[in-house]
Amino acid sequence: MLGDKSILNNLILYEVYVRNHGPNGTFDDVTRDFGRIKSLGVDVIWLMPIHPIGEKNKKGSLGCPYSIKDYRKINPEYGSFDDFKKLLGEAHQRDLKLMIDVVYNHTSHDSVLVDEHPDYFHRDEHGIPMTTVPVWSDVIDLKHPNISLQEYLIDTLCSWVRMGVDGFRCDVASIIPIEFWLEAKARVEEINPDVIWLAESVHASWVIERRQNGMNAHCDAELYRAFDLTYDYDIWPIWQAAVRGDVPVKRYLEMVEFQKGIYPQDAIKMRCVENHDNPRIMALAPNEVSAKAWTAFEIFNRGAFLLYAGQESGADHTPSLFDIDKVVWGDYRLENWIRRLLNIKKRDIFINGTQQFLAADPAIQAIWCDADSMLFGIFNVSNVKQPIPCSLPDGKYYDLISENEVEVKHHNLFMEDTSAYVFEISADFIPLNMEFDLLEVK
């Protein structure tokens, strides 16, 4: 069992799609980029699936990495096993952990398991392997539970851990029986008790839909029995609506607060503002100030944080899963800004402290406090141009993001074209004239 899980509250993960990361789309490209990635403050590199991709019924010119032909082999497009081991060794030499994608709900239509173990698959009334998610036409579903299948999959996980892999991001973990994950975790812990388990938990609406149709689906609270981290998809649609301006920001903050009461006390969310399945924040938000403010807030928010490769360049295009579609790196224009934010995230206060929201409109205001210190953050998610009423006493404050001095006058803070400030303030600070009762009916 991973020791004190609270240390994961300021964990920084970095998602890489090998095919589109570098000029050649290889492990070596990624390995050469480790120094830069590490310098950002990243702890864990997550590689999207590294296995051979199915040809039958593939999507696009090259197929989707989540349509896997063989869980125990390496995609030759990326390199060899030796290249992967070199990447793994280089990651560990730089004190980076390496997480790989686990896709145990489905395989490609031409998976090596189809002929060897036909009983492993869901089948239609004609006996043909099928998917239970029609839009995923390039894959067929594994049929859980099955003891033989379970042993095969868990043995595969164990072999990757023996090789040195440090964690697993588990695709659509919510629709695989929790009993499978509990057994997998127990077996893996016999080899390495510090392996990190990240569940791609799914939208609440999908949990409801699958249950109504007689299919398995676990909510996040159930997944925490086996996983260290879960996705933020339970409240993701509300977050996206808040970013677009379709719902009040307060509604989203209420949902973040609600999470504190419905999950185990040590439950940790993985926050992000973009990933390979969703629009880049620069495309979702109405302007760059808002995009950066939401990024800064989610780093400041409770839980681990995921960077998606290209975010540090302000990319606005989500690369295709099915074709060569390279990240446009440019001059890495947001790299130093993100580095400073992640450096703030590394403070112990995000592990040992408590979070409180002070305001949602016209800008998010929040504090983190522990026995010895306090951080005050203000995030201009609405791109407000006029002075913002601020709970800080008048005076000058050092902004940890811009590394400049900022003045509060008459309890107002001016943020024109500025996305966020984070100040270190006195631990005995008491908010001024701020009334913000989350989850309270007036």
How many domains, the chain? 2
pLDDT in tens, the chain (442 residues): 455 788 899 999 999 999 999 999 999 999 999 999 999 999 999 999 999 999 999 999 999 999 999 999 999 999 999 999 999 999 999 999 999 999 999 999 999 999 999 999 999 999 999 999 999 999 999 999 999 999 999 999 999 999 999 999 999 999 999 999 999 999 999 999 999 999 999 999 999 999 999 999 999 999 999 999 999 999 999 999 999 999 999 999 999 999 999 999 999 999 999 999 999 999 999 999 999 999 999 999 999 999 999 999 999 999 999 999 999 999 999 999 999 999 999 999 999 999 999 999 999 999 999 988 999 999 999 999 889 999 898 999 999 999 999 999 999 999 988 999 999 998 788 776 555 566 565 5
Q: Are residues 307 and 395 located together in one domain of the fold?
A: no
Q: Which of 346, 365, 397 is the last residue of a domain?
A: 346
Strand partners of residue 168: 100, 197
Does a structural domain hold residue 378?
Answer: yes
Q: Which residue has the tokens 């620069």?
A: 282
Does a structural domain hold residue 441?
Answer: no
Strand partners of residue 227: none
Tokens of 340: 């400073």
Q: Are residues 270 and 335 located together in one domain of the fold?
A: yes
How would you list the strands of the sheet with 364-369, edge to edge? 354-359, 364-369, 374-379, 420-425
Q: Which of 326, 346, 366 is the last residue of a domain?
A: 346
Helices within 128-233 (DSSP H only): 147-163, 178-189, 204-212, 220-223
Does a structural domain hold residue 440?
Answer: no
Tokens of 49: 């699936």
Q: Are 98 and 164 in contact (CB under 8 A)?
A: yes
Tokens of 28: 């070596």
Q: Are residues 399 and 417 located together in one domain of the fold?
A: yes
| Domain enclosing residue 373, as ranges | 355-425
DSSP count for the chain of H helices, then E strands: 15, 18
Q: Are residues 102 and 146 located together in one domain of the fold?
A: yes
E runs forming strands in 263-371:
268-271, 304-308, 354-359, 364-369
Cα(334)–Cα(34) distance, integer angstroms: 18
Strand partners of residue 169: 101, 198
pTM for the model stands at: 0.96
Q: Which of 329, 346, 363 is the last residue of a domain?
A: 346
Q: Are residues 340 and 359 located together in one domain of the fold?
A: no
Question: In angstroms, what is the C-alpha Rg of the chain?
Answer: 22
Does a structural domain hold residue 238?
Answer: yes
